[in-house]
């Protein structure tokens, strides 16, 4: 579900795109910044009309390159890191212009598809004076040839939820999820496949309950914390699997208690001991710490999977595309496959 912050959201998306406005149903492949909302896209030069062949972008006008930073090479490096896993994605930097604010540059990129199946579009974003971030829509994102490195470092230090796979964090996949979120339930099939196909990956579950739309999500997260504490990683993933399978039971407070206690028993733990752990203030604090980490990483929806820091909304994403993203990120990070 998209977090209820009044953020821009809609069905506009570029298939298999890394810079995308994620659809509410989360059925498109994504990763870094969101695509520009319609009102902002209209402010940019009109993109070429769709064809059934690779688009022929108009030659960039030198008059639109008035900013000294970033350079065209830097923008292309960033886009390659974001989109390089998609062999059909093509783009052209159309403008890097000064703005009224010193150090902030306006960047316009034309985007298309080699097959001509997708309608070409214009992406608009602004780079910040530090050269390390961009602003797209209402959000700020990392920028550069290695835009995910900062988030990767933060996660290696702070993602401390239950995990499976390898203890080594060279390839780390961190899932931020909400037990009451239907799309998080949907995403579990992909997560299971990743665990099977990448046994050397360190796969972490981080709680991100969206209380404003899922009233029972926080107590479910607290139960998960205590199950992990008393039953270890194995116990937690048994519990989590059962909760997602019985998710409809979380619809009411009474139903949630029955569902959570049943899942605790199926994980081989004593429901009374787990309930006592849930009542401890430290348990709620543990959930809040995970929520704070998600916000620090600019995550505003669930489920969100971070692959060595690269954000990928994983629900509804074809598994073949997800594997391409994982393998491309391994390549970027110099990981031997």
- Beta bridge partner(s), residue 334: none
Residue where a domain stops, chosen among 115, 146, 177: 146
**Are residues 164 and 284 located together in one domain of the fold?**
yes
Do 142 and 211 lie in a common domain?
no
pLDDT of residue 46: 60
Rounded Cα–Cα distance for residues 84 and 76 (Å): 10
Q: Of all helices (H) and strands (E), which one includes residue 283?
A: helix 281-296
Cα-Cα end-to-end distance for the chain: 33
pLDDT score of 87 more than 90: yes
Task: Encode pLDDT of 10-38 as tens digits.
Answer: 222 222 233 432 333 332 223 344 333 33
The residue written with tokens 């997560």 in the block is 191
Last residue of a domain, one of 146, 161, 194: 146
How far apart CA 21 and CA 137 sit, in angstroms, is: 9
- What's the total number of domains in the chain? 2
Q: Is 292 among the domain residues?
A: yes
> Which pLDDT belongs to residue 16?
29
Within 165-216, residue ranges assigned H as helices are 182-197
The two tokens of residue 328 are: 């491309």
Same domain, 219 and 242: yes
Backbone φ/ψ region at 87: left (φ over 0), alpha (ψ -120 to 50), beta: alpha
- Assign 153 a pLDDT band (cuts: 50, 70, 90): very high
pTM for this one? 0.84
Contact 219, 261 (CB under 8 A): no
Worst-scoring range by mean pLDDT, 114-123, 221-230, 273-282, 323-332? Answer: 114-123
**In this structure, is residue 108 part of a structural domain?**
yes
- pLDDT category of residue 82 using cuts at 50, 70 and 90: very high
Give the three-state DSSP class for 55: coil
Residue 19: per-residue pLDDT: 43
Say if 47 falls within a structural domain. Answer: yes
Same domain, 63 and 159: no
125 vs 170: CA distance, rounded Å: 31
Q: Tokens 């309950």 identify what position? A: 209
Alpha-carbon span 329 to 84, nearest angstrom: 9
Residue 168's Cβ-side half-sphere holds a number of Cα atoms within 13 Å equal to 7
- Which residue spans within the chain are E strands per DSSP? 89-98, 105-113, 121-127, 133-136, 139-142, 163-165, 172-177, 202-207, 304-307, 310-312
Q: Tell me the mean pLDDT in the region 259-274.
A: 98
Asked whether residue 121 falls in the same domain as residue 233, the answer is no
- Given a cut of 70, is residue 71 above it in pLDDT? yes
Give the number of other Cβ atoms within 10 Å of residue 271's Cβ.
16
Other beta carbons less than 10 A from residue 4's beta carbon: 12
Asked whether residue 18 is assigned to any structural domain, the reply reads: no
Q: Is the dihedral of CA 172, 140, 133, 65 positive or negative?
A: positive
Chain segment 215-252, per-residue pLDDT in tens: 999 999 999 999 999 999 999 999 999 999 999 999 99
The rounded distance, in Å, linking the Cα atoms of 175 and 82 is: 19
The CATH number for 297's domain is 3.40.30.10
Are 114 and 141 a contacting pair, CB within 8 Å?
A: no
Mean pLDDT of the chain: 87
Shared-domain flag, residues 171 and 313: yes
- 209 with 288, same domain: the answer is yes
The residue count for the chain: 337
> Which one, of 28, 58, 71, 74, lies nearest residue 120 by Cα?
58
Per the domain annotation, does 111 fall within a domain?
A: yes
* SS percent in the chain: helix, strand, coil, step 5: 40, 20, 45
**pLDDT recorded at residue 10:** 25
Domain that holds residue 224: 151-331
**pLDDT at residue 118 in the model:** 83
Same domain, 116 and 163: no
23 part of a folded domain: no
- One domain, residues 235 and 139: no
pLDDT at 129 over 70: yes
Residue after which a domain boundary falls, among 146, 166, 199: 146
Please give the residue that has the higher pLDDT: either 158 or 45.
158
Q: Is 103 helix (H, G, I), strand (E, B) or coil?
A: coil
pLDDT at 236: 98
Beta bridge partners of 202: 165, 172
Claim to verify: residue 86 and residue 162 sit in the same structural domain: no
Report how far residue 241's alpha carbon sits from residue 27's, in angstroms, rounded to the nearest whole number.
22
In a domain, 200, yes or no: yes
In a domain, 16, yes or no: no
DSSP-assigned letters across all residues of 143-166: -SSSTTHHHHHHHHHH--S-EEE-
Same domain, 205 and 100: no
Provide, rounded to the nearest whole percent, the portion of the chain with pLDDT above 70. 84
Same domain for 200 and 141: no
């Amino acid at each position: 579900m998209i977090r209820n912050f009044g953020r821009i959201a809609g069905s506009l998306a570029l298939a298999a795109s890394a810079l995308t406005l994620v659809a509410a149903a989360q059925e498109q492949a994504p990763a870094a910044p969101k695509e520009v909302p319609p009102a902002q896209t209209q402010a940019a030069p009109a993109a070429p009309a769709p064809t059934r062949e690779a688009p022929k972008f108009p030659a960039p006008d030198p008059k639109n390159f008035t900013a000294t930073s970033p350079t065209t090479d830097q923008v292309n490096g960033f886009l390659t890191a974001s989109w390089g896993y998609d062999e059909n994605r093509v783009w052209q930097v159309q403008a890097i212009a000064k703005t009224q604010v010193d150090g902030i540059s306006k960047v316009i990129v034309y985007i298309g598809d080699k097959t001509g199946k997708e309608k070409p579009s214009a992406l608009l974003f602004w780079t910040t004076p530090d050269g390390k971030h961009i602003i797209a829509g209402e959000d700020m994102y990392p920028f550069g040839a290695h835009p995910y490195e900062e988030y990767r470092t933060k996660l290696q230090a702070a993602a401390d939820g239950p995990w499976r796979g390898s203890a080594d964090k060279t390839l780390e996949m961190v899932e931020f999820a909400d037990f009451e979120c239907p799309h998080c339930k949907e995403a579990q099939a992909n997560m299971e496949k990743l665990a099977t196909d990448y046994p050397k990956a360190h796969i972490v579950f981080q709680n991100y309950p969206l209380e404003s739309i899922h009233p029972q999500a926080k107590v479910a997260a607290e139960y998960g914390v205590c199950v992990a504490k008393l039953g270890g990683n194995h116990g937690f993933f048994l519990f989590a699997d059962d909760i997602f399978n019985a998710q409809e039971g979380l619809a009411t407070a009474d139903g949630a208690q029955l569902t959570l206690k049943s899942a605790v028993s199926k994980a081989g733990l004593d429901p009374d001991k787990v309930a006592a752990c849930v009542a401890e203030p430290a348990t709620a604090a543990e959930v809040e710490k995970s929520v704070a980490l998600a916000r620090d990483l600019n995550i505003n929806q669930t489920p969100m999977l971070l692959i060595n820091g690269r954000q990928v909304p994983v629900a509804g994403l074809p598994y073949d595309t997800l594997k391409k993203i994982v393998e491309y990120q391994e390549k970027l990070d110099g990981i031997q496959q």
